[in-house]
Amino acid sequence: MISDIIAGLIGNYMTTAFVIGLLVAAIQVARYKGRRSAAVVSGLFVNSFVFWAIGIGQAVNFVMHSVFGQFAAQSIGWQQSPFQLELAFSSLGFAVIAFIVHGKRMPFSGKVAVILAAVIFGLGAAGGHVFQMIVNHDYAVNNTGLLLVSDVVINLTGLAFVIWHAVARRRDIAATDALTVRDSRLVDA
C-alpha cells in the first residue's frame, strides 16, 4: 500500500507539488506574526504557488521529459519524439524563472508574468489532451486522467491567486491612502 501511495505521488508530481505548495502556504499563514491582511495571506499563497506548483512542478517535468522521456511519452499515449526534449527545456525555463521571482521581495509583476505564462501553457496542454481524446481516441492515463484535470484546476487556481492578490493589494493601498489623508487632516487641524 505504501509503495502504491509513493507511486501515485511521484506519478502525479504536478498535483503533488501543487498540494505541497498549498500546505506550505497554509502553514506560513498560520505562523505569520503580524496582521494577516488579505494582501499578506494572498501574497503567501502566490509565492508558494510560484515556487511549488510552477518551480518544483516544472523542474520535475524537465526531468521526466528529458531523462524519462520514453516513459513520459508512453504514459500520455504518444511516441517518443525530438519535441519531448523541447518540452523538457521549456519546463526547465519555467522552473528557473519561477525560482527567481518567487520571493516576497520580488516584484508582483514578475510573479504575474510567470503565472500567466504557465496558465496559458497549462490550459493549452489541457486543450491538446482533449483534442487527442476526440480526434485520436487517446485515452492513456496521462492524457485523460488526473493530469488533464490538474492542467485545468492548478492553472485556474494560480490565476485565482493572482486576481485575489491584486485586489487585496489594491484594497490595502486604498485603506492606507485613506488613513494617510485622515491623519494629515488631524495634523493640519
Write phi, then psi, for 121 (nearest 5 degrees). Answer: -65, -50
Residue ranges with strand state E in 44-136:
none
State residue 143's pLDDT score.
72
CA distance 69 to 74: 9
131 CB neighbour count, 10 Å cutoff: 11
**Residue 76 Cα to chain centre, angstroms:** 21
- Measured distance CA(181)–CA(19) in Å, rounded: 42
Contacts of residue 59, Cβ cutoff 8 Å, sequence gap at least 6:
91, 92, 95
Nearest of 120, 123, 117, 116 to residue 151 by alpha carbon: 123
According to the model, what pLDDT value does residue 152 have?
Answer: 95
Residue 61, all three cell numbers = 517535468
pTM of the model: 0.85
What stretches of the chain show up as alpha helix (H) in DSSP? 2-11, 13-31, 38-48, 57-66, 69-76, 82-101, 108-136, 141-144, 146-188
- The vertex-90 CA angle with 103 and 57, nearest 5°, equals 50
**Predicted pLDDT at 75:** 78
- The residue written with cell numbers 505564462 in the block is 117
Helices (H) and strands (E) in the chain, counts: 9, 0
* Segment 58-107, tens digit of pLDDT: 999 999 989 988 887 887 777 888 888 899 999 999 999 999 999 889 99
pLDDT in tens, 129-178: 899 899 999 887 777 878 888 999 999 999 999 999 999 999 988 776 55
Say which DSSP state 103 is in.
S
Angle, CA 163 vertex, CA 60 and CA 33 arms, to 5°:
80
- Would you say residue 180 has pLDDT above 80? no
